[in-house]
Amino acid sequence: MRTTIKKGEHVEIRSIQYKTLLEDTNLASNHNMELVMDVTLEVIAELGRTHKTIKEIMELTAGSIIQLDKVAGEPVKILANGKTIAEGEVVIIDESYGIRITKIIKP
């Protein structure tokens, strides 16, 4: 619905009055974060990368070695859903590999 104001007509103009926000916005923020805390993400430890032709891939056999672009001892990237979030070093825990976080990547 549209109202037309006629010339000379008195119109009251007021500023909008906003409610004061609660000071404890962290409480709401923490509650919102709790809603997503059980969402799973794919976490990848990237040891290194390389480029190969289709021919080179087709020639791979058991025992073939693929050289990566990383030097031994260089930090490995840790990715969550494809985004780098940290760097670390490879460790062995019992008979499994693990990554010790050495650096958190700031967004």
Encode pLDDT of 56-101 as tens digits.
999 999 999 999 998 888 999 999 998 999 999 999 999 898 999 9
Question: What does the alpha-carbon distance between residue 82 and residue 55 come to, in Å, rounded to a whole number?
Answer: 28
Domains of the chain and CATH, by start: 40-104 (2.30.330.10)
Give how far the C-alpha of residue 22 lies from the chain's centroid of Cα atoms, to the nearest Å.
29
Residue 36 pLDDT > 90: no
Measuring CA to CA, how many Å separate 10 from each of 14, 15, 37, 72?
13, 17, 56, 81
pLDDT value at position 13? 79
Q: Give 106's DSSP letter.
A: P
Q: Give 54's DSSP letter.
A: H
**Pair 106, 84: CB distance under 8 Å:** no
Q: For the whole model, what pTM was predicted?
A: 0.59
